[in-house]
Structure 1
Amino acid sequence: MSALPEVGASAPRSVSELRSRFRQGKAALLDHFRASRASSTAATRLIRALTKHVDLTLGDLWEHAMMPPGAALLAVGGYGRGELFPHSDVDVLVLLPPDQDHANDALRSSIEGFITACWDIGLEIGSSVRTVAECIEESHRDVTVQTALLESRYLCGARRVFNDFRRANTEAMDAKAFLRAKTLEMRQRHQKFEDTPYSLEPNCKESPGGLRDLQVVIWVARAAGLGKTWNELAAKGLITPFEVKQLQRNEGVLKLIRARLHMAAGRREDRLVFDLQTAVAESFGYRPTKGQRASEVLMKRYYWAAKAVAQLNQILMLNIEERVNGLQDAPMRPISDRFLERGGMLEVATDDIYERDPHAILETFY
């Protein structure tokens, strides 16, 4: 695959020049992706390139806005995770030092100028302005804020206040409470999206088996100090190397579909609605045949990935729950020759029980 175009090479002298550089650079990245072969690698490279392009742009805007020296700019949410899709929102946090007065006219003017400039150049920005103490207070009230802050990433400004924030945020994290809240949130989300990965018009981000099911695993694992990548989770014994490969492959498929869906819609759209399925399928190079529409080929690929993600999500969430609640150290109570009970969960006596005796699976339900 050809290299991505270089963008943001020279520093602009004005916001007007920055606007031109940002829009031309983003257009070049999207054009390159549109013309490339539909692959998970191409989608990953685009997501990283868009993130880097926005990072550089925000850094320049921060300087133009003459922000106070003690403040810092943080990427949060999906942007903090380093995952910007073609039409993703860009969520940022302006982190203020503890002695900064929100009502200060000069500060308010600088922040308003920065946010206005972001919108002016074409960034769909979502912003909040808080001190470290306010961040912690708000995260205790709202698990959505807590989740966004968990994935925060330093962009520019004062590193000292960022380091203070990371330390305070880590100390304030209650892994058990966070796990309970995210598990409940996930169940409610699944119900909202029909409780199945096989919806006719699935949301590739929010539906069961969508990207959110992968993100929630990383969130709860990270909050518990169990890792923030699939390989780190494998090193902790939460998943096998084979399952890591499955996760990475299917995550790549979902990211590719979401990126192509944004391109086909020309806006942020995560639903594979009927009106867009054919366009997305054609962007993959799929063509109708006598017995199958192009959209059917696409959806079959989506359903395979979503099914695998839904299954792996269940396995990982249970394994993480065991670690967080200390259930792996709970005593085992024999139920039969083949099965044991531990912490309210059914365990097999040996890992190869179903290979040696396939009929044992029927005993699971008695």
Structure 2
Amino acid sequence: MSLDLDSVALRGLSEPERLSFLKEQITRENEDLHRRHLAGEAGLAHSEARSMVADELIIALFNTYLPDPENPPALALVANGGYGRGLMNPGSDIDLLFLVDRPTTNISDDAKKIVRGIQMIIWDLGFKFLPSTRSVPECITEAKMEPQSRTALLDSRLVVGDQKLFRKLRDRFRKDCIEKDKTRFFEERSLDINTRHAKWSHTVFLQEPNIKESPGTLRDYQNLDWIIDAEAGTRSMTELVRKRILTRHARRELKDAFNFLHRVRNALHYHDKGNDILTLRFQGIIANEFGYPQKTILRRIEVFMREYYTHARSVHNHTRSIFEIFELQHKEEGHTSIRSRLTFGLIKKKPKTLDDYTIQNERLSARRKDIFEENPNRLIRIFVYCQKYQVTPSPSLRKLIKKSWDLIDRSFRVRRENREAFREILERKGQVATTLRLMHRCGVLGRYLPEFGALDCLVQHEFFHRYTADEHTLRCIDQLDALVENDDPKVSIYRDIIVKHPDPYALYIALILHDTGRAENVREHIDGSAMLAARLCKRLQITGGRRAL
């Protein structure tokens, strides 16, 4: 269904009649879109349909207010931001640039009439409208000064009007604001991600996440779009697969996640337009609306939020990986440039060799692709190296780890070599949490310890828990590690306990297991945790006083 708009008919109406007619059309279209959403329409399809409605409205208004359709002024109506991407949620704004061919202090009367007419009627229709009027040089000046304007123009597309003028803007913007200094643009996007993630506790596992701004949500996906556009000259995930930056599985995960996040945001906006916080109240409402079949509301919320966290983690991890790949490229290009200027390329820094791995730029990489097939036990040992040398697995090594998940089976979990490597990790006081997070991010921790794996993305239904069960556990270990270097007299008694504790292995195991009973659906989770602890101790051959602790 689409708007029934005829610009010739609209011209024949007075302003009040035109406004009344358009309100009726928009109301009818919104009701139809809402019915489609409730019937289960996919998130992206729904957001695209909303953007198309805005296009039809703006095109009709442009043609309505043209003084002389046979001789239109040099004016282009350009969609920016989310509207430019062709995706609008019910509470999204219409970010529209009126692009003119001269300074805005000197635009033609015909252009003024069109701009004024469209602006007034869109505001009167109740849209959240963000108009701007600029020439090409003014757009470039603004984009150079303001990062938000730069990304808005990177998403721009022509809705209606002067195609030649729009191409001039697009080509000059690309040349002056992106190609001239890709490093600056990359650093801006990295800073945006880091600053925003800090505001949301650097985790996707918040109890009440922001569907637009939290880690792993729509803003991360948009940053991913912007950076691959700037660095690789494409927005096609298929092209990234062809270039071996993404795997086919990662592309599918990103597509599914983006679709899901848009559907959730559509639902949120229908209940509370403009709100992006997925509160506990709305979690229940949306879980019911999406038709999860579990018998109780708590179980429906649990399944819904587990799906949310899984998708958000996919966006978060893949975005980090792709940014990391381009970051390493920028570093290598910078080093190459310096070497060529200072040494004419005669000196090349070699990566450090470590058994079956190399270390370069603080990343650990495998020297062969079959490294885990040769010896699956390396899937634990590599994290000993990461901890000892304070490095992280490179993007390529993480892909190899993911491909090798099936090697972590029952026999793998009981091997002595793996027990000893894991104990070695837990015995380095103050350095455990970072390594366990690496293992969790790479999908190894929950597979090696299924008791912990059951906590993955598990919702906790208490107001005093801000995070999922797995994130809560890792943050407890963060706090324990932090005590080792904490000189604050207020916590000295606790610091002495951890520093002087003779068996950190048992202490960290206890923390890893302390909430595992929450996944067992028992009346008291401490009983479930005790049962799982006994099972784990048997498998890891923890006995005597260590087991009692």
TM-score by length of 1: 0.90
Cα distance in 1, alignment partners of residues 349 and 118 from structure 2: 57
1:219 paired residue number: 226
Match of 2:49 in 1: 49
1:117 aligns with 121
Distance 1:76 1:291 in 2: 40
Report deviation, 1:201. Answer: 0.6
Name the structure 1 match of 2:284: 278
Q: CA deviation at 1:313?
A: 1.4
Secondary structure at the counterpart of residue 335 of structure 1: strand
Counterpart contact for 1:247–1:309, Cα < 8 Å: yes
Structure 1 position 336 matched with structure 2 position 354: yes
Q: What SS does structure 2 have at the residue aligned with 1:364?
A: helix
2:371 is matched with: 353
Q: Is residue 2:200 matched to residue 1:193?
A: yes
Distance 2:4 2:330 in 1: 46
User: Any stretches of 5+ residues in structure 2 without a counterpart?
Assistant: 11-17, 337-347, 389-549
Q: Could you tell me which residue of structure 2 aligns to residue 153 of structure 1?
A: 157
Deviation of residue 207 (structure 1)?
0.4
Q: How many Å separate the matches in 1 of 2:243 and 2:290? A: 37
* Distance (Å, rounded) in 1 between the aligned partners of 2:242 and 2:132: 36
1:77 to 2:81 alignment: yes
Mapped partners of 1:159, 1:105: distance in 2: 20
Name the aligned partner's letter for residue 23 of structure 1.
Answer: T
CA-to-aligned-CA distance 1:21-59 (integer Å, 9 cap, x gap): 22312221122222x13xxx6222211111111101011
Q: Which residue of 1 aligns with 2:387?
A: 365
Residue range with higher mean Cα deviation, 340-349 or 45-54: 340-349
Q: Identify the residue that residue 236 of structure 2 maps to in structure 1.
A: 229
Instruction: Answer whether contact 1:217 1:313 (CA < 8 A) is retained.
Output: yes
Quick check: 239-248 or 160-169, which moved more?
Answer: 239-248
- CA-to-aligned-CA distance 1:110-149 (integer Å, 9 cap, x gap): 4222111111223221111111101111111011100000
Q: What is the SS of the residue equivalent to 2:198?
A: helix
1:11: which partner in 2?
Answer: 6
CA distance in 2 between partners of 1:89 and 1:130 (Å): 19
How far 1:99 sits from its partner (Å)?
5.9
What secondary structure does 2:365 align onto?
A: strand
Alignment of 1:298-317 (within 5 A): 298-317=304-323
1:203 paired to 2:210: yes
The one-letter code matched in structure 2 to 1:259 is: N
Does the CA-based 8 Å contact 1:332-1:341 persist in structure 2?
A: no
Distance 1:213 1:196 in 2: 12
The answer for the alignment partner of 2:259 in structure 1 is: 252
CA gap 1:325/1:222 in 2 versus in 1, 3 angstroms: farther
Preserved contact between residue 58 and residue 118 of structure 2 (Cα < 8 Å): no
How far off is 1:297 after superposition?
2.3
Q: What is the match of residue 59 of structure 1?
A: 59
Q: Distance in 2 between matches of 1:8 and 1:125?
A: 19
CA contact (8 A) 2:79 2:158 kept: yes
Q: Give the distance between the partners of 1:354 and 1:112, measured in 2 at CA.
A: 66
CA contact (8 A) 1:97 1:132 kept: yes
Distance across 2 between alignment mates of 1:255 and 1:352: 39
The change in CA–CA distance for 1:42 and 1:290 in structure 2 (over 3 A counts) is closer
Letter paired with 1:227: T
**Alpha-carbon distance in structure 2 between the residues aligned to 1:290 and 1:241:** 36
Q: Which residue of 1 aligns with 2:134?
A: 130
Listed as ranges, the gaps of 5+ residues in structure 1 are: 1-5
Letter in structure 2 aligned against 1:7: S
Residue 238 of structure 1 corresponds to: 245
Kept in 1: contact 2:43–2:261 (CA 8 A): no
- The structure with the larger Rg is 2
How far is the alpha carbon of 1:231 from its aligned partner?
1.3
CA distance in 1, matches of 2:94, 2:386: 47
Count of aligned pairs: 356
C-alpha deviation, 1:79, in angstroms:
0.7
Residue 180 to residue 107, structure 1, CA distance change in 2 (3 Å): same
Judge conservation of contact 1:338–1:349 (CA < 8 Å) in 2.
Answer: yes
3-state SS, counterpart of residue 131 of structure 2: strand
Q: Retained in 1: the 8 A contact 2:78–2:98?
A: yes
TM-score of the superposed pair, with normalisation by structure 2: 0.61
CA distance in 1, matches of 2:103, 2:324: 43
Could you list the per-position Cα deviations for residues 226-281 of structure 1 after superposition, in whole angstroms to 9, with x for gaps in the alignment? 4212112222221111211111122222122111221232x122110122111111
